[in-house]
Amino acid sequence: MAFDKYEAEKDPDSIVDYGRTWSNWLQEDEIILSSIWIITGTEDPITLVEGGQGTGISVDGKSTVIWLEGGADGQRYTLTNRIQTDQLRTEDRSGILTVREK
């Protein structure tokens, strides 16, 4: 799922992926070398999926992904993706994820 000003919903029991397409921001031959996700919200945790899915960068180096599980019904979490590129540029983009029973 690509987002600029991202806002999405997730069921507390689902394990799903969310992502960001950076191709509109990256320069023509630039690629992402590292991607970290910072999750802020309430004391009710939403967590990265363990066992290899967690986070990643696409094969072409233009988008990123995070796999999430948990979260408390009715709570909002900010997902901030911080990347660094092969041209030594660093950028952050944030979005809101609301957890709701579906």
User: Top-level CATH class of 6-99?
Assistant: mainly beta
What whole-number distance in Å separates Cα of residue 2 and Cα of residue 23? 10
Given this model, what pLDDT does residue 2 score?
A: 43
Over range 49-70, report the average pLDDT.
Answer: 85
Given this model, what pLDDT does residue 25 score?
A: 95
Tell me which residue of 88, 93, 80, 79 sits closest to 31, measured CA to CA: 88
Q: Which two tokens stand for residue 89?
A: 């540029």
pLDDT bracket for residue 71 (50, 70, 90) = very high
pTM of the model: 0.85
